[in-house]
Structure 1
Amino acid sequence: MEILNLSSNYINGFIPLELSYLNNLQTLVLDHNKFTGQIPLWVSSFNDLAVLSLKNNSLFGSLPSSISSSENLRVLAMADNHLFGEIPSLQNLTNLQILDLKNNYFGPSFPVLHHKVVTVDIRNNSFKSSVPNELNSYFQLEKLDISINELIGPFPPSLFSLPSINYIDISGNKLTGKLFQNTSCNAHLVLVNLSSNLLTGELPACLRENVEEGAVSYDGNCLSGEEGNQKPLSFCHNEALAVEVSPQKLRHKERKAMAVLVSSLVGGIVGLAVIVGLSLWVFQRRNRRAAVKGPSTRLITEKLSTVNTVKLISDASKILSLSSLFDLSS
Structure 2
Amino acid sequence: MLNISFSTDIRRQICKSMNLLPGFLKHCTSTVTIREVACYDLVNTTETYAKLPYLNYLDLSNNQISGCIPENIGEVVPNLSILDLSNNSISGFVPNSIGNMKYLKNLDLSRNKLMGPIPTSMGYLQNMITLMLRGNTLSGEIPSSLKNCTQLEVLDLGDNQLAGNLPSWIGQSLTSLHVLSLRSNKLIGAIPKTMSSLHSLQVFDAAENCFSGTIPDIFTNFTAMKVTEKMADYNNDLNRNFYYKVSIDIVAKGSMMEYTEFLSLVTCIDFSRNNFLGRIPESLTKLIGLRVLNLSGNHMIGKIPQEINQLQELESMDLSNNLFSGGIPLSMSSMNFLSTLNLSYNNLSGPIPFTGHMSTFDDASIYYGNEHLCGPPLPKKCDSPISNNVRDLRTGSPEVQQFWISAGFGFGIGFGGWYSVLVIKRKWNNAILKVMDSIAEILITRLQHLFPRRNR
Q: 1:182 to 1:147 in 2, by over 3 A?
A: closer
Task: Report the CA distance between 1:68 and its aligned residue.
Answer: 2.3
Q: Counterpart of 1:88?
A: 167
- For 1:202 and 1:139, locate their aligned partners in 2 and report how far apart those are by CA, in whole Å: 30
| Residues 1:66 and 2:145 aligned together | yes
Task: Report the CA distance between 1:63 and its aligned residue.
Answer: 0.4
Structure 1 unpaired stretches of 5+ = 234-330
- For 1:197 and 1:87, locate their aligned partners in 2 and report how far apart those are by CA, in whole Å: 23
TM-score, normalised on structure 1?
A: 0.66
Task: Give the one of 337, 346, 364 matched to 1:221.
Answer: 346
Residues 144-168 of structure 1 deviation map (CA, whole Å, 9 limit, x = unaligned): 0000000011112552441221110
| Residues 1:49 and 2:128 aligned together | yes
Q: Counterpart of 2:303?
A: 178
Q: Which moved more, 1:81-90 or 1:143-152?
A: 81-90
Q: Counterpart of 2:107?
A: 28
Task: Report the CA distance between 1:15 and its aligned residue.
Answer: 0.7
Structure 2 unpaired stretches of 5+ = 1-79, 226-266, 353-366, 374-456
User: In the alignment, is the contact (CA less than 8 A) between 1:76 and 1:99 conserved in 2?
Assistant: yes
Letter of the 2:131 counterpart: L
Higher relative contact order (CA 8 A, sep 6+): 1
Task: Report the CA distance between 1:210 and its aligned residue.
Answer: 6.8
User: In the alignment, is the contact (CA less than 8 A) between 1:78 and 1:101 conserved in 2?
Assistant: yes
TM-score, normalised on structure 2?
A: 0.48
Identity of aligned residues (%): 31
User: In the alignment, is the contact (CA less than 8 A) between 1:176 and 1:199 conserved in 2?
Assistant: yes
| Residues 1:128 and 2:204 aligned together | no
- For 1:72 and 1:78, locate their aligned partners in 2 and report how far apart those are by CA, in whole Å: 17
Count matched residues. Answer: 233
Q: Counterpart of 1:204?
A: 329
| Residues 1:8 and 2:84 aligned together | no
- For 1:8 and 1:198, locate their aligned partners in 2 and report how far apart those are by CA, in whole Å: 39
- For 1:105 and 1:76, locate their aligned partners in 2 and report how far apart those are by CA, in whole Å: 17
Q: Counterpart of 2:294?
A: 169
Q: Aligned to 2:131, what secondary structure does the other structure show?
A: strand
- For 1:182 and 1:61, locate their aligned partners in 2 and report how far apart those are by CA, in whole Å: 40
Q: 1:39 to 1:180 in 2, by over 3 A?
A: closer
Task: Report the CA distance between 1:229 and its aligned residue.
Answer: 1.6
Q: Counterpart of 1:159?
A: 284
- For 1:58 and 1:219, locate their aligned partners in 2 and report how far apart those are by CA, in whole Å: 33
Q: Aligned to 2:314, what secondary structure does the other structure show?
A: coil
Kindly name which structure, 1 or 2, has the bigger radius of gyration based on alpha carbons.
1
Q: Aligned to 2:275, what secondary structure does the other structure show?
A: coil
Task: Report the CA distance between 1:206 and its aligned residue.
Answer: 4.2
Letter of the 1:19 counterpart: I
